[in-house]
Amino acid sequence: MSPSITSLNPSSGTPSGGNQVTITGSGLTGAASVKFGSASTAFTALSDTQIRTIAPPGSGTVQVTVTTPSGTSNGLPYSYIAPSLASLSPTSGPASGGNTVVLTGTNLAGVTTVHFGANLAAFTVVSNTQINAIAPAGSGTVAVNVSAGTSTSNSLSYTYVPAPTLTSISPTQGPLPGGNLVTLTGTGFTDVAGVFFGAVPASSFTVVDSTHITAVAPGGNPAGPVQVSVTTLSGTSNAVSYFSVPAPLLTDISPAQGPTAGGNSVTLTGSGFTGTTSVHFGAAAAPSFMVDSDNQLSVHPPAGTGTVPVTVTTAGGTSSGTVSYTYLPAPVLTSLIPNQGPATGGNSVTLTGTGLTFTSTVSFAGTPAPFTVLSDTQVVALAPAGPAGPVTITATTPGGTSNGRTYTRLAAPGT
């Protein structure tokens, strides 16, 4: 009796062949050959009703037959089906390649090559529906396909994303403890995984768009320059410099008093004054200042009253400490005792008034006189010699020059 076959399992495969096919039928004992179309292939007769064989390479649909000494069986169709791709994950990656891309589809078991554009990729066949490929280096958007023998699958798009680039950072410096907002400008800011100040990640960051990121600078870096970079799924950018600046230190002020109207010249001493952005006397900003060096500032105080703290602000923050400045009202003279004396001078004159504590000069018609401050309300001056007649006496302090009081120089008798 001639052999008869009733089923093939499976009844299809990839054009590259190589898959196992089980043939079921009857009269299969003594099988001499198994053919897929005209192509003979290796087989093993398991019983009179079953043969196990390996599909040879092929294309299209062919008839499978078994030949025994009793003749050749009927044919059953076997289809060579090209591999097909359904998806890629991820669909993009770094231009340098090296990342794993999962290809899913059908009839992938016999795949022999995987292409990303013109470049071959290393791959592993996981199953008939999955391949894991290692993306080669590339650029732009390329077609990904797989081949099994002479059959090539459909193509899916894969995009190579260049590593991000940094062009600028603003501001370029900030306080040593961090916490300030910094804007990064560049390209390729998509899929951002991190912003780093040296090895320290930014406290937080926001991708504004593909060319701008705002980041909160972290603490933890030493004073001085640190390299800032951006990391995305496509790689790490070049670095730009950012300076971590300690807060300024204010140690002294001279003079420590001045007029309520402000405008006088004051010298501040300390450290870290380079890049000073403002100087405050209490809540009021000084109208002008000059950075003489990293250790000295020349300042014109604003108007004010009372005793106020003085602070210096730089990119590193605002100084702390106990340096203060006292606004002094101009002194006021209310009386002179005596209000006259010999033109030859040498006599003591008591000036009474207010605001006399910091008296620096007592003047008789422009001529300085020796003096002693007794209290905030009294100064004793030694009248200088001068022409007979009335003269104006004034007292000067850091708060200004007082009103004038009249003192009369008396000519000696007989002159």
Tens-place pLDDT, residues 70-80: 999 999 999 88
Element (H, E) at 297: strand 296-300
Task: Decide if pLDDT at 389 tops 70.
Answer: yes
Structure confidence at residue 404 (pLDDT):
97
What span, in angstroms and rounded, lies between the C-alpha atoms of 408 and 394? 14
Q: For 332-410, CATH number? A: 2.60.40.10
Task: Decide if pLDDT at 38 tops 70.
Answer: yes
What's the mean per-residue pLDDT of the chain? 94
Structure confidence at residue 14 (pLDDT):
79
What pLDDT digit, counting tens, does each position of 41-51 carry?
999 999 999 99
Task: Decide if pLDDT at 414 tops 70.
Answer: no
CA 325 to chain centre: 39
Structure confidence at residue 327 (pLDDT):
96
What span, in angstroms and rounded, lies between the C-alpha atoms of 317 and 84? 62
Helices (H), 249-375: none
What pLDDT digit, counting tens, does each position of 99-146 carry?
999 999 998 988 889 999 999 999 999 999 999 999 999 999 999 999
For the chain, the domains span 4-80, 84-161, 166-245, 249-328, 332-410
CB atoms within 10 A of CB 154: 14
Q: What percent of the chain has pLDDT over 70?
A: 100
Q: What percent of the chain has pLDDT over 90?
A: 87
Task: Decide if pLDDT at 321 tops 80.
Answer: no
Q: CA 104, 105, 109, 110 torsion: positive or negative?
A: negative
What span, in angstroms and rounded, lies between the C-alpha atoms of 313 and 276? 6
What span, in angstroms and rounded, lies between the C-alpha atoms of 109 and 124? 10
Task: Give domain 249-328's CATH superfamily.
Answer: Immunoglobulins (2.60.40.10)
Q: What is the DSSP letter of 56?
A: P
Task: Decide if pLDDT at 415 tops 70.
Answer: no
What pLDDT digit, counting tens, does each position of 216-244 carry?
999 999 999 999 999 998 889 999 999 99
The CATH number of domain 4-80, selected from 2.40.70.10, 2.60.40.10, 2.60.260.20, 1.10.10.10: 2.60.40.10
Q: What is the DSSP letter of 57?
A: S
What pLDDT digit, counting tens, does each position of 301-319 carry?
999 999 999 999 999 999 9
Structure confidence at residue 18 (pLDDT):
84
Q: What is the DSSP letter of 135?
A: P
Task: Give domain 166-245's CATH superfamily.
Answer: Immunoglobulins (2.60.40.10)
What pLDDT digit, counting tens, does each position of 190-217 carry?
889 999 999 999 999 999 999 999 999 9
The answer to whether 84-161 and 249-328 have equal CATH topology is yes
Architecture of domain 84-161: Sandwich (2.60)
